[in-house]
Structure 1
């Protein structure tokens, strides 16, 4: 057995005893990724990572738009044809056909029911579920240079523009995987801690916990969100909440850069200035600089910093989601970034 398979097996065993704290985090997923035989060929595209690992963290809700539309499996392959802005959905063995209307109706109804989700994982290259780079074919049979998202994904993104969405294949990239899980947990916490009982205090408390997460993602967003909560702009609370949430999720939309992590870690080190002797702080800073040079992974300086903040840091520093943005730590999500 390969070392990679052994590591996955060990992680699966560890996760058997893990229970997600609080309300379960519900995430939508393409049915084929959970091993359901809904693909055009009657098979599936089961994702080991989603089905064996992430299923221990998230309560998956699966959906296949083709099956919901009654297309069945197996079935002829489907592809997008015509204008990339408003393409037809056609069977590849019937050029010029159009089943888009039959396809879109049940998907549109389904999308209206998803405001309880905190993320969605989609199948790549699918004319229905692909996030991007989906080809649209001309009458000549050649694809347009312009590509687009799948039809179901377009419905989903239009209805929930700040819902964390990712393709399963992209989760093989450590930085994209960490970023997606970070966004899912943040989206979940915002819904339950801010939206559930909206108040200015709830919004400020959320920002206080996520302040350094935002700093690690985007300095401009960090400043803009602070200004938004300062109260200098007069606006209704709901509008302030919506503007905050949109800017917050946009800030988290891409993986943080290494230099931004270093800047954030250095800021958090400042909370130990009066409680930890300078030689120890210099050692921690040296490890942060090692991370900056790519010599160690992100877990190394964070674990070291977390230890000292736990014993010597302020309550404000201890509550920072940047240190523990998701659980369980056994996933080792930051071990490869």
Structure 2
């Protein structure tokens, strides 16, 4: 995976001064930390439908029948819903190559969750909406990793998002090279330990689905279903308990090669991770050391040990 990963981003998060007040919401994690490995495709839906900078702020408004529209917050006339929906459908149709999307929180066009929805007289509001562009994006590509700028300050959410975009990028590259049953099975095999850390139940269910690949005549349809199931599984955050199970499973591969002191050291390190006194990076680093000393073909191919560049420092605190 040498080429940069294509990721969509709300233009204001990339530092462009496109917000209603002429400012931006530059997200340092995106434009500094992640940018060496990602190729961003910025979009500002509000400017794309012809609104200027600066401009009156927009808001979502719910009428008596429950329909939600996009309107100006200063109550001037104008329903922008149709324009925003038309642009969104047209632009999103050209984004099938993306492996992720970072959207601007609270925005009536881009917010992913808890966007304020006002009643028609503007007196009451509830944090219950989703921006129109992002709503259409997530409906069109339900497998696509989508996150908000604010949520990406959370280390666990950040790691999960990056892990998913790397996984989807590798899967998309596999498809571009030409789908075969063997290639899909090999891909799934490389991700077994990583998937096990996310959800044991869905890991087993997806394993049964992969085992039944020969029952599908249309490999493209199978790929689409596999992608959806894979991304749904990975949207569940990996847990300390599941990671501990994976680490103990891997530990078993080295038991015949290690002396008593080494086995005890590794077991104690895994247990300290389980108790929360060591980060995941600690036992993973020791296991990678033993893997270099005692190579194992199955373990060497596992994405679990290096799901993303170490320079991102995503496994230091969990």
TM-score, scaled relative to structure 2: 0.94
> 1:41-89 CA deviation, whole Å, 9 max, x = no partner?
0111111221111111201110000010011110001000015964110
How far 1:274 moved relative to its partner? 2.4
Partner secondary structure for residue 334 of structure 1: coil
Task: Report the Cα distance in structure 2 between the residues aligned to 1:124 and 1:78, rounded to whole angstroms.
Answer: 14
Q: Does the 8 Å contact 2:181/2:213 carry over to 1?
A: no
The equivalent residue for 1:54 is 34
Residue 14 (structure 1) aligns with: none
Confirm or deny that 1:99 pairs with 2:80: yes
CA distance in 2, matches of 1:122, 1:112: 17
Cα distance in 2 for residues equivalent to 1:98 and 1:146: 21
1:166 counterpart SS class: strand
Aligned residues: 316
For 2:17, the equivalent position in structure 1 comes to 37
Relative distance call for 1:266 and 1:142 in structure 2 (3 A) is: farther
Q: Is the 8 A contact 1:271 1:313 kept in 2?
A: no
| Structure 1 residue aligned with 2:268 | 286
Q: Is the 8 A contact 1:276 1:312 kept in 2?
A: no
The residue number in structure 2 matching 1:65 is 45
Q: Which of 44, 50, 55 is matched with 1:75 structurally?
A: 55
Q: CA deviation at 1:239?
A: 3.2
Q: How far 1:31 moved relative to its partner?
A: 0.5
Identify the residue that residue 105 of structure 2 maps to in structure 1: 124
- Secondary structure of the equivalent of 1:229? helix
Q: Which of 288, 293, 300 lines up with 1:311 in the alignment?
A: 293
- CA-CA distance at 1:196 after TM superposition: 3.3
Matched residue SS, 1:135:
strand
5 Å-filtered alignment, 1:268-279, equals 268-279=250-261
Deviation at 1:243, TM superposition (A): 2.4
Q: Separation in 2 of the partners of 1:257 and 1:95? A: 49
Measure how far apart 1:197 and its partner are: 1.4
Per the alignment, residue 246 of structure 2 pairs with 264
1:148 to partner: Cα distance: 1.9
- Residue 220 of structure 1 deviates from its aligned partner by 1.0
Distance 1:232-1:39 versus aligned 2 partners, 3 A rule: closer
- Which aligned pairs between 1:50-199 and structure 2 lie closer than 5 A? 50-83=30-63, 86-94=67-75, 97-145=78-126, 147-194=128-175, 196-199=177-180
Shift of 1:315: 1.3
- Shift, 1:270, TM fit: 1.5
* Alignment equivalent of 1:324, drawn from 290, 306, 318: 306
The residue number in structure 1 matching 2:208 is 227
CA distance, structure 2, for counterparts of residue 278 and residue 144 of structure 1? 63
SS at match of 2:6: strand
Q: Residue in 2 aligned with 1:240? A: 222
Contact 2:191 2:302 in 1 (8 A): yes
* CA displacement at 1:318 relative to structure 2: 1.1
Shift of the alpha carbon at 1:229? Answer: 1.8
**Equivalent of residue 193 in structure 2, options 212, 215, 219:** 212
What RMSD over aligned residues (CA atoms) do the two structures have, in Å? 1.7
Between 289-298 and 311-320, report the one with greater CA deviation.
311-320
Residues 234 and 251 of structure 1: CA distance in aligned 2, closer, same or farther (over 3 Å): same
Runs of 5+ consecutive residues of structure 2 not aligned to the other structure = none
Q: CA deviation at 1:246?
A: 1.3
Deviation digits for residues 173-222 of structure 1 (CA, Å, limit 9, x no counterpart):
10000000000000000110245311110111101110001100001111
- Are residues 85 and 299 of structure 1, via their aligned partners in 2, closer, same or farther at CA, if it must alter by over 3 Å? farther
Pair 1:161–1:232, CA change in 2 (3 A): closer
Contact 1:194/1:206 (<8 A) preserved? no
